[in-house]
Structure 1
Amino acid sequence: MNEGILRNFTWPLLITIVVAIGAFSGAFDSEAEEAVETALKRSLVTFGIARSLNAVISVAQGTEVSVTPLGMGLTLAPGEVLDPLNDLVERFSGFMLVSSVALGTQRVLIEISSWLPYSIFLVALGFSSLVLRSFGAQSISEWRHYLWRGFVVLAMVRFVVPIAVVGSEWMYSSFLEAQHVEAEQGISEASSRVRTINAERGAEIPEESVQGSWEKLKEWAAGVKIKAASAVQLERYSEAMKETAKDTVELIVVFFLSTFIFPIAIAIALWRLAKWALARPTIKDND
């Protein structure tokens, strides 16, 4: 009898109280909002770095080299060699935009789940299930069952996003931050070096293009007449960007894990925990 009371009333009561405290205190919400804001700022900064690198590579692709083998003039366009890297950086900037949108969506979900009427309804549902548990009539057993299941599911919706965001940020700080900082610094330095080479060649991006739309900037980069570069300058381009592809891939891995994989894994773990709780015989009547 004591075991049945513990299983059918005491544990559900404790769970409901914990959920009520968590829902109304907003402890998870404030920490989750701070975590998602930090992650969103980090994502937008990296997105800006990617777009900047894309711009300077587009300028460098206008490179032409004049050589005179055996006294014959010849013009080459080795800037096309940069196409694969530029394509990778463009895809990376697109991925960072998606990552930023995902983080912005998580922030909105946190705001929705922390809505006060939702928390009130959630807690009321939990205590309603507890009230029905105090009655032993078989006729209300099914109602009690569905009320408790609804309470657990809504509690998952209430806390899964904040917990996933906080857990993801903790995992980022513990395992990915050093890799992210190093790779981002490498890309920033490469962009700066390429911009310096472009400036030396008179291929600076005009201020109005920087302030204008991205399409105008691309049109300028495609149509600008850039002073011919020497083979030495081409070697400098190659040296400046030799680690860029690796750094770009590392950043994709960092944001893929921290923005998508970690939150999804935490959410799945929480959902399996909820299914385990629902599968326990907490709604059965005592004989």
Structure 2
Amino acid sequence: MLNKYRYTFLMLFICLGLACFPVTLSTDHQIKQMMAVTLSVYAIARGLNGVISVAQGTEVSIEPMGVGLTLAPGQILDPLNDLIEQFSTILLTASASLGIQQIILFLSDQWGFRVGIIVLVLIAAIATLSSMVGVKQKRILLKTVLFLSVLRLLIPVSVMFSGTLQGLMQSQRDEAVMVLQTTQNEVETLTNREQEQPKGWFDSLKGKLDIESKLQQIRQQADRAVHAAVYLLAEFVLLMLLMPLLTLWLLSKLTKALIK
């Protein structure tokens, strides 16, 4: 029984110490940086989606030597466009996840919240020594104190870990983003060419060959863009969505493990 009291008061003392100090000073910059990266990639994805939508709605008719030919270059971009739309949705969800974490971190460092934890620690300590409080009520108090305290600790750790991983992946992410930007520029160039109608049959033939060559380049670039989008999708799902869910799971397991 004495050992159990020592264990309980040790946990309460640690929770009291955590409540006395801010824990988000070192993570504020990281979470803002992660938010900036997410929104910048979202802007690029929406820009690419926009130029692809324009390309899908345009056709060019070329008549070299009287032979009609109609090209719809946007059709080869359909798979990429569908992926980019889903990717944009994931990025919005990731931004919302970061926003929620930022709000929780902000609130958890407010004096009112920290004083509330201190008051709960004192109440739990008194309840532990009191025979007037039932075992169930004592466990609820301890679980509440531990949950709030571990929440203040785990989320900053999760943000720091995610921010560190995002920094390590910066070169690969920059390469993937560059691929998407290059794809956007290529599609815009092709769309502008489609709007220029050649006059003579020789110009028409030359325009046909130029556009067909450009279409082949776009097809290859679209394949590269798909791989780049998949990589970015995996990175943001891992860091912005799975990591917070893993944090909540660890929070639940840790709270249950500390109070048996």
TM (norm. structure 2) is: 0.81
Q: Which amino acid aligns with 2:234?
A: V
Q: How does 1:1-287 map to 2 (within 5 A)?
A: 4-9=1-6, 11-26=7-22, 28-61=23-56, 62-66=58-62, 68=64, 72-135=67-130, 137=131, 139-142=132-135, 143-174=137-168, 176-200=169-193, 230-279=211-260
Structure 2 CA distance for partners of 1:129 and 1:53, relative to 1, 3 Å? same
- Alignment check: 8 A CA contact 1:168 1:263 kept: no
For the residues of structure 1 that align with 2:4 and 2:256, how far apart are their CA atoms?
Answer: 16
For the residues of structure 2 that align with 1:180 and 1:196, how far apart are their CA atoms?
Answer: 24
For the residues of structure 1 that align with 2:63 and 2:80, how far apart are their CA atoms?
Answer: 25
Q: Any stretches of 5+ residues in structure 2 without a counterpart?
A: 197-206
For the residues of structure 2 that align with 1:241 and 1:126, how far apart are their CA atoms?
Answer: 58
| CA RMSD, Structure 1 to Structure 2 (Å) | 2.7
For the residues of structure 2 that align with 1:12 and 1:163, how far apart are their CA atoms?
Answer: 24
**Residues 195-219 of structure 1: CA deviation (Å, up to 9, x unaligned):** 344445558xxxxxxxxxxxxxxxx
Q: What is the count of residue pairs matched by the alignment?
A: 247
What secondary structure is seen at the aligned counterpart in 1 of 2:14? helix
Q: Which amino acid aligns with 1:149?
A: K
Q: Which amino acid aligns with 2:122?
A: F
Using the TM superposition, give the Cα deviation of residue 245 of structure 1 relative to its aligned residue in structure 2, in angstroms. 0.7
Structure 2 CA distance for partners of 1:5 and 1:195, relative to 1, 3 Å? same
- Alignment check: 8 A CA contact 1:156 1:271 kept: no
Structure 2 CA distance for partners of 1:179 and 1:6, relative to 1, 3 Å? farther
- Alignment check: 8 A CA contact 2:18 2:149 kept: no
Structure 2 CA distance for partners of 1:23 and 1:177, relative to 1, 3 Å? farther
Identical-pair percentage: 24
Using the TM superposition, give the Cα deviation of residue 64 of structure 1 relative to its aligned residue in structure 2, in angstroms. 2.2
For the residues of structure 2 that align with 1:67 and 1:257, how far apart are their CA atoms?
Answer: 51
For the residues of structure 2 that align with 1:164 and 1:83, how far apart are their CA atoms?
Answer: 37
What secondary structure is seen at the aligned counterpart in 2 of 1:90? helix
What secondary structure is seen at the aligned counterpart in 2 of 1:75? strand
Q: Any stretches of 5+ residues in structure 1 without a counterpart?
A: 204-226, 280-287
What secondary structure is seen at the aligned counterpart in 2 of 1:29? coil
Using the TM superposition, give the Cα deviation of residue 88 of structure 1 relative to its aligned residue in structure 2, in angstroms. 1.6
